[in-house]
Chain A
């Protein structure tokens, strides 16, 4: 084929036109009016949207049925108490709501005073009835049920079906009030180490007495009178308390709704925000509480909590700007990688309060000999477990070296310095030492764990490999129904997780005391029992800490078991959201929601 000059020129022109046009482009903003609308008709603070995994079902997260993370988080934004817990797990006074002071240490007497003009979002004052109801639900004062071995109630009744325990306020007498009802005085039978945790913002027990009264079909005064006049419960002589029962029934059930209730009085709030919209199973929207009188005035106009169950979907919603914050419950390497690669999103990481641990069953024959216990624990490759399972997710994680404290707590360092765990059981296994202790014996260790949890399965495999090098025979008791078997006790070693509450001392007696509800491995040491009981009545924090250090030391000395690691945690936060800080406990990212702002 031949081209004449004209064709060639045309071709050249076409080619250069194409090349030129490659630099040019079509479209683009037609004017300078990009920044229109602002926050779109709302105030100036903007909106922040948080992705959550579970769906909202109740504003009363303290009941047994609705005691789940998201309910607690929503509740935290619409209720205030005398204290809250900060990201270093310190109990912080919330003086905007009220103040308290110890009047006497023996008997422990504390005076709580609500600040002036504290009120609910509907204008009703936070007053004597609210305090009384709050105390009534948390103390279990009226309970007079007798339960059988199987757990059935034989006589009497328990009022207010709360998920938490009545432990802290259990030992208080009927509160006394000042003339104006704003001051309540509580007196404990015996000192209680955790007294400061009672009546806190995050306990979820506070509900508006005037609304509860209305739901129970009585006036607020009647409610107050009913609670004040009903005598303390005595299982030996149970009695009928129809009013208290009505109140408890209202408290248990009225606040459970997964969509906007027809009676909006159920939504009243004394916290910085108030619920203004609920879309069933999808979202809860909170707006600023106009009547809020406390110190934690919110920065943003609205906070929306969205339910997105699938973590990939959460990540893509974060990328698409549909949510500003995501805080997944369980964090995998995959999630971590994907979130950290998003432009314009910062990652906050840290340990969660849940921690995995190996417990030796003191009821098992093979572990009667302390040498075998020590030998087995020496073989557990804690560093390797951490390196392979946790480090890929959160780089700066470490082996947990305390039975009583987690790394987020200030006291952790002190515990590690005194409990001797790191010296006795370095993170690397000591196969030689274990073999020496075994002295030719080859005991069989049956390990119980949840076979549906991949991290536990991998941990088990690593332990098995290491222990068999020292001469142990390891038997696999992995089971999806591990929970039932845990209490049955037919195993030698259990591998599972505890969720540390982060504050308080209740776990000491539950887990480590002989016969405690969480003492699945039949551990019994009178010295530890005494220390646990003693710590719980010690008011001085430093003294309490020393006792816990001592207890921690004995637990390692006794070869109770070994803590392994804390689960990794992570928040993904859009960069134009300020004020978010990592928090390990169950309040999670919401712990300082009033400080959030849009940059």
Chain B
């Protein structure tokens, strides 16, 4: 094992050396680094200064070794000898990289996590109902998103989810015809996506229609978009739903004690609603995280106390319910700040942003800045999620289908194991193994930035740094981006291979 890892690492280092040389030369030879200086006043002086600063009078091959010398300094820990050179503008590449990595992570993290969660869920569900209307709908939808060019999707999102939605918010009036029309479309969607006997499907479609119409009416009639709130009733309702679903998935509804534990946790969460408002008023991220952790623990405790034959299940149900209920309370608190956010002089009633990661000059407490981050990350996150949905859902669908046809699944069913246990415990877990590889690769690629998405949403992350530097024929920052992404990609590839052998005992690393 150890020698395998060592061998892989040594190969990786050799590849990095070779690749860095090629990338450096390609960047250096890709154009004229002085191109922007011809034809401007004082070009002579400016050209001389740049040649001096970037050593342009030495051939690129020699400059590469010069760069390499500085880059090797980064290997010495805590020696502060790391020197990745300067850009055309004289900024230190190391500083730029640090800032760019933060921006990139900010942009892609939520999108990637959502894509993984939603994608895998869709894949599993569509695998369980193979060749049903639902399956086809999911397949159609994910492939549609997959085939959309990202810049176009982003422009559409900005047009409809930001500009049009903001216009709507300034005057949130909708005709009944639109409400009914939208509900009809949603109802149709429910019908198409449902499965079972025609009667059931019709009923579901009708439910979808009525539910949507009711929700829309509620939102509009209460002016919810301007003054959103969950309040105790909605938190209670959603909380109960969470408890039931969590019990269904994690313990099975027959395990009444788990259900009661979950419901008791919801009650406890509601009791906390008023006491925590005071904490929220002074606190920030720390308070929120602490509260979430505390209620998770509280839920777990309640689950444990509720006893029964399988306490482990109860604990899990309680913990998940506790976490999500407190999540709802936090969400409610954010909503309380929404009117104030809308009225801010820099928002002026148009909250959903199309560019950047914050509103410049926006000041406010944790809740205001949190909302600001949300309104800025909303569109890029939706775009990135939709784009990545297909690969996760298709992989998980295929892997789930394969597992469900395995002998041991049949054996489990034959033994009389409940369908829930078969799916959740025996099939689902194993179906995730191949996805571990995919996720590891994607996380490796993630640091490289979503170049186009970054550009369209005016984020200045790794992709932006890379593109601008290539454009300026500026090898140093390009090499910086290359180093970071290259190392991360190699490390995560190695991790993926190792994780695979840990997850699947049939795979063994040959030393």
- Name A residues whose Cβ lies closer than 8 Å to a Cβ of B: 18, 21-30, 36-42, 46-47, 49, 55, 57, 64-68, 150-151, 161, 163-165, 256, 258-259, 276-277, 279-285, 302, 304, 306-310, 312-314, 316-317, 319-322, 354, 450, 452, 480-484, 486, 496-499, 501, 506-507, 510, 517-518
Q: Which residues of B contact A21 (CB under 8 A)?
A: 175-177, 180
Shortest B49–chain A CB gap in Å is 4
The residue from A26, A30, A37, A496 contacting B217, defined by CB atoms under 8 A apart: A26
A29, B223: Cβ atoms closer than 8 Å:
yes
Bound-state CA distance A21–B180 (Å) is 10
Q: Which residues of B contact A312 (CB under 8 A)?
A: 151, 155, 456
Shortest beta-carbon contacts, A-B, top 9: A40-B345, A37-B343, A283-B360, A27-B220, A64-B49, A21-B176, A65-B90, A281-B460, A26-B220
Contacting A at CB under 8 A, from B41-60, are: 41-46, 48-53, 57
Indicate if B38 sits at the interface (CB-CB under 8 A). Answer: yes
Indicate if B505 sits at the interface (CB-CB under 8 A). Answer: no
Indicate if B333 sits at the interface (CB-CB under 8 A). Answer: no
B344, A49: Cβ atoms closer than 8 Å:
no
Mark each residue of chain B from 118 to 153: 1 if its CB lies under 8 Å from any CB of chain A, else 0: 000000000000000000000000000000000100
B38, A496: Cβ atoms closer than 8 Å:
yes
Shortest A572–chain B CB gap in Å is 15
Given A64-B45, A283-B356, 16 further pairs, Cβ under 8 A? A28-B172, A29-B226, A30-B223, A150-B57, A151-B51, A165-B42, A282-B357, A306-B458, A316-B354, A316-B355, A320-B350, A354-B39, A481-B31, A481-B32, A496-B38, A517-B44
B458, A310: Cβ atoms closer than 8 Å:
yes
B32, A321: Cβ atoms closer than 8 Å:
no
A55, B49: Cβ atoms closer than 8 Å:
no
A37, B344: Cβ atoms closer than 8 Å:
yes
Shortest A192–chain B CB gap in Å is 17
Indicate if B457 sits at the interface (CB-CB under 8 A). Answer: yes
B39, A25: Cβ atoms closer than 8 Å:
no
Given the interface pairs A310-B456, A317-B355, A320-B353, the reply to whether A24 lies near B176 with Cβ below 8 Å is: yes
Mark each residue of chain B from 454 to 482: 1 if its CB lies under 8 Å from any CB of chain A, else 0: 01111010001000100000000000000
Mark each residue of chain B from 176 to 188: 1 if its CB lies under 8 Å from any CB of chain A, else 0: 1101100000000
Of the 9-residue stretches B157-165, B280-288, B435-443, B486-494, which lies at the interface with chain A? B157-165
B46, A64: Cβ atoms closer than 8 Å:
yes
B159, A282: Cβ atoms closer than 8 Å:
no
A22, B177: Cβ atoms closer than 8 Å:
yes
Q: Which residues of B contact A37 (CB under 8 A)?
A: 343-345
Indicate if B6 sits at the interface (CB-CB under 8 A). Answer: no
The residue from A41, A276, A307 contacting B460, defined by CB atoms under 8 A apart: A307
29 contacting pairs across A/B (C-beta < 8 A): A18-B177, A21-B177, A23-B175, A26-B173, A26-B176, A26-B221, A27-B221, A27-B223, A28-B171, A28-B172, A28-B223, A49-B346, A49-B360, A66-B89, A151-B52, A163-B42, A163-B45, A259-B99, A279-B360, A282-B458, A283-B356, A285-B360, A314-B355, A317-B355, A322-B355, A480-B35, A483-B32, A499-B41, A506-B41
Bound-state CA distance A321–B375 (Å) is 14
A321, B350: Cβ atoms closer than 8 Å:
yes
Bound-state CA distance A588–B35 (Å) is 22
B173, A320: Cβ atoms closer than 8 Å:
no
A501, B175: Cβ atoms closer than 8 Å:
no
Shortest B438–chain A CB gap in Å is 30
B361, A47: Cβ atoms closer than 8 Å:
yes
Smallest CB gap from B151: residue in A? A312
Q: Which residues of A contact B174 (CB under 8 A)?
A: 25-27
Q: Which residues of A contact B38 (CB under 8 A)?
A: 482-483, 486, 496
Most buried by B among A150, A281, A284, A506: A281
Indicate if B430 sits at the interface (CB-CB under 8 A). Answer: no
The residue from A47, A67, A308 contacting B356, defined by CB atoms under 8 A apart: A308
Q: Which residues of A contact B220 (CB under 8 A)?
A: 26-27
Bound-state CA distance A222–B493 (Å) is 60
Smallest CB gap from A37: residue in B? B343
Given the interface pairs A320-B350, A496-B38, the reply to whether A484 lies near B91 with Cβ below 8 Å is: no
Bound-state CA distance A320–B171 (Å) is 15
Mark each residue of chain B from 98 to 115: 1 if its CB lies under 8 Å from any CB of chain A, else 0: 010001000000000000
Contacting A at CB under 8 A, from B308-366, are: 343-348, 350, 352-361
Q: Which residues of B contact A55 (CB under 8 A)?
A: 460
Indicate if B37 sits at the interface (CB-CB under 8 A). Answer: yes
Smallest CB gap from A256: residue in B? B90
Shortest B39–chain A CB gap in Å is 5
Most buried by B among A38, A285, A483: A483
Indicate if B25 sits at the interface (CB-CB under 8 A). Answer: no
Q: Which residues of A contact B359 (CB under 8 A)?
A: 322
B41, A282: Cβ atoms closer than 8 Å:
no
B172, A277: Cβ atoms closer than 8 Å:
no
B345, A42: Cβ atoms closer than 8 Å:
yes
Bound-state CA distance A484–B33 (Å) is 10
B353, A322: Cβ atoms closer than 8 Å:
yes
Given the interface pairs A21-B176, A163-B46, the reply to whether A480 lies near B358 with Cβ below 8 Å is: no
Given the interface pairs A38-B345, A518-B43, the reply to whether A282 lies near B34 with Cβ below 8 Å is: no
Q: Which residues of A contact B460 (CB under 8 A)?
A: 55, 280-282, 307
Indicate if B40 sits at the interface (CB-CB under 8 A). Answer: yes
Shortest B319–chain A CB gap in Å is 38
Q: Which residues of A contact B91 (CB under 8 A)?
A: 57, 258
Shortest B181–chain A CB gap in Å is 10
Indicate if B166 sits at the interface (CB-CB under 8 A). Answer: yes
Shortest B483–chain A CB gap in Å is 20
Bound-state CA distance A189–B45 (Å) is 24
A316, B45: Cβ atoms closer than 8 Å:
no
Q: Which residues of B contact A57 (CB under 8 A)?
A: 89, 91
Bound-state CA distance A559–B486 (Å) is 56
Smallest CB gap from B344: residue in A? A40
Q: Which residues of B contact A506 (CB under 8 A)?
A: 41
Q: Which residues of A contact B176 (CB under 8 A)?
A: 21-22, 24-26
Shortest B99–chain A CB gap in Å is 5
Q: Which residues of B contact A510 (CB under 8 A)?
A: 41
The residue from A25, A319, A321 contacting B175, defined by CB atoms under 8 A apart: A25
Smallest CB gap from A30: residue in B? B223
Q: Which residues of A contact B361 (CB under 8 A)?
A: 47, 276-277, 283, 285, 302, 304
Bound-state CA distance A484–B37 (Å) is 11
B355, A28: Cβ atoms closer than 8 Å:
no
The residue from A65, A161, A164 contacting B42, defined by CB atoms under 8 A apart: A164
Contacting A at CB under 8 A, from B1-52, are: 31-32, 34-35, 37-46, 48-52
B355, A308: Cβ atoms closer than 8 Å:
yes
A280, B99: Cβ atoms closer than 8 Å:
yes
B45, A480: Cβ atoms closer than 8 Å:
no
A28, B173: Cβ atoms closer than 8 Å:
yes
Q: Which residues of A contact B155 (CB under 8 A)?
A: 312, 316
Q: Which residues of B contact A258 (CB under 8 A)?
A: 91
Given the interface pairs A25-B174, A27-B172, A283-B361, the reply to whether A320 lies near B158 with Cβ below 8 Å is: yes
The residue from B39, B355, B456, B468 contacting A496, defined by CB atoms under 8 A apart: B39
Shortest A255–chain B CB gap in Å is 12
Shortest A507–chain B CB gap in Å is 7
Q: Which residues of B contact A283 (CB under 8 A)?
A: 356, 360-361
Given the interface pairs A282-B357, A313-B458, the reply to whether A484 lies near B48 with Cβ below 8 Å is: no
Q: Which residues of B contact A64 (CB under 8 A)?
A: 45-46, 49-50, 53
A316, B158: Cβ atoms closer than 8 Å:
yes
Q: Which residues of A contact B172 (CB under 8 A)?
A: 27-29
Most buried by B among A18, A27, A28: A27
Given the interface pairs A65-B49, A256-B90, the reply to whether A483 lies near B35 with Cβ below 8 Å is: yes
Shortest B164–chain A CB gap in Å is 10
Shortest B55–chain A CB gap in Å is 12
Given the interface pairs A164-B42, A499-B39, the reply to whether A24 lies near B354 with Cβ below 8 Å is: no
Q: Which residues of A contact B166 (CB under 8 A)?
A: 320-321
Q: Which residues of B contact A316 (CB under 8 A)?
A: 155, 158-159, 162-163, 354-355
